[in-house]
Structures are given as structure tokens and as C-alpha cells.
Chain A
Amino acid sequence: DTAVSQTPKYLVTQMGNDKSIKCEQNLGHDTMYWYKQDSKKFLKIMFSYNNKELIINETVPNRFSPKSPDKAHLNLHINSLELGDSAVYFCASSQSSSSYNEQFFGPGTRLTVL
């Protein structure tokens, strides 16, 4: 069984479009995250939710809006896509927001903006 799943795996779209990426975890974790991995493989956190409450909100354009309908789901909506948004987006989860918990990552969504 997949612990952290993301859909879609690949997303190719035109500049200016709006798109969403979905994430689900079946681990019973309280905390979920979105990361962006750029073309040089650098990984940076974007958002984190704990029990549906936003707890980490990094310096991310407000075109990016996370939504957590319940603690097992954290979706990422992106408005007015730009070329620079092309990256691999990873969802992750951890048992709680405590700092010693390891995070479990999804397989990633490769977003290509043309």
C-alpha cells in the first residue's frame, strides 16, 4: 500500500493556466508538507499543515495556495503558472509537527510549464 501518494505524476501545461496537485497519506499522520525540488535538485519547504492548520508558510508567491480538507489530504493549487514554476513538487507527512519525527515523502509530481 502506498503511504504517501500524489496525483498526477506528470503535469505539462501552458503559462497562465491554473493547476492542482493532490496528496494523500494513509499513515494516520497529523502533519503534511509541500516541497519544491528545482532542476539542480535543491529541496525547499513551501508549506506545512498540522491537523488542517497551516503552520509553515515559506516565502512562496501567493499564486500558490495549499488546502487541507482533512488531515490525510493536502492539495496544492497554483494560479497563473509561470515558467519558473517548473519543478518537481513533493508532498510529505510526519507523525506530528515535533522536530524529531522523520518525514515520509510521496513519489513527486513533475510540473512542466511551457
Chain B
Amino acid sequence: AQSVAQPEDQVNVAEGNPLTVKCTYSVSGNPYLFWYVQYPNRGLQFLLKYITGDNLVKGSYGFEAEFNKSQTSFHLKKPSALVSDSALYFCAVRPSRGGYNKLIFGAGTRLAVHP
């Protein structure tokens, strides 16, 4: 069965410190991986995606994520957190073959950046 795990319900970081939001996945074949962010009372916004190529993917707002095939992980990172980064972050996956663009989402991780 295809699935995404975000092991932390919440991540707390001080402003200016690096942040990591973890994601691991289980999918048949090669995965396509995505990160989305949801601010309060808003829809999801696309941050970045891994399709193929360089394992380090750079996205919006200074975020990046590293695809690690052996560990089946796609952790989201940022070198220096901002208070405005506080939001709900979703990792999503789908296999590169079969079916349509059916994304499977993780349960979400709430990022809280403290001044």
C-alpha cells in the first residue's frame, strides 16, 4: 500500500535556527514527491517537488528538500527559520507510473517558529 508518514505532529524552532520537517514514504516504483504548505484558513500552496535528477530540490520561500532513495525520505529544510514560516506542512507522494495524478498526503506537521 502506498503511504506517506510525517512522524512529528509539531516542530518547534527558534527564529533564525535551521528547521527540518520529516517525511518518509512507501510507494511502488519511483516516487514523485511534493511539499505543500497551508496557512491558517487558507488552501494548500505548492512549495517544491522531486521528479528526477538532483536529489536536492530548491523551492519557494527559501525551502529545500532532499530526496534519499535508500531511506525513502524527503525531508523539508530551511537554513534559517522565520516566524512567518509558522504553518501546517504536508508531504505528498505518488508513483511515477500507473493511475493519474492521485496524490497521497501525509497527516501534516505543524511548524511553530518562535521569535
By the criterion CB–CB under 8 Å, are A43 and B90 in contact? yes
With an 8 Å Cβ cutoff, the count of chain A residues facing the other chain is 28
Flag whether A94 is at the interface (Cβ < 8 A): yes
Q: A41-B108, A98-B101, A99-B95 are in contact. Are A105 and B49 (CB under 8 A)?
A: no
State the total of A-B contacts with C-beta under 8 angstroms: 67
Chain B positions 79-115 with a Cβ under 8 Å from a chain A Cβ? 88, 90, 94-97, 99-103, 105, 107-108
Chain A positions 1-55 with a Cβ under 8 Å from a chain B Cβ? 4, 31, 40-45, 48, 50, 55
Nearest chain B CB to A108's CB is how many angstroms away? 5
Flag whether B14 is at the interface (Cβ < 8 A): no
Contact of B49 among A48, A96, A102 (CB under 8 A): A102
B interface, CB within 8 angstroms of A: 32, 34, 36, 38, 41-46, 49, 51, 88, 90, 94-97, 99-103, 105, 107-108
Q: Can you name 18 extra interface pairs (CB under 8 A) apart from A99-B99, A102-B34?
A: A41-B88, A43-B44, A43-B90, A45-B102, A45-B103, A48-B101, A55-B100, A56-B100, A56-B102, A92-B44, A98-B101, A99-B32, A99-B94, A103-B46, A104-B46, A105-B45, A106-B43, A107-B43
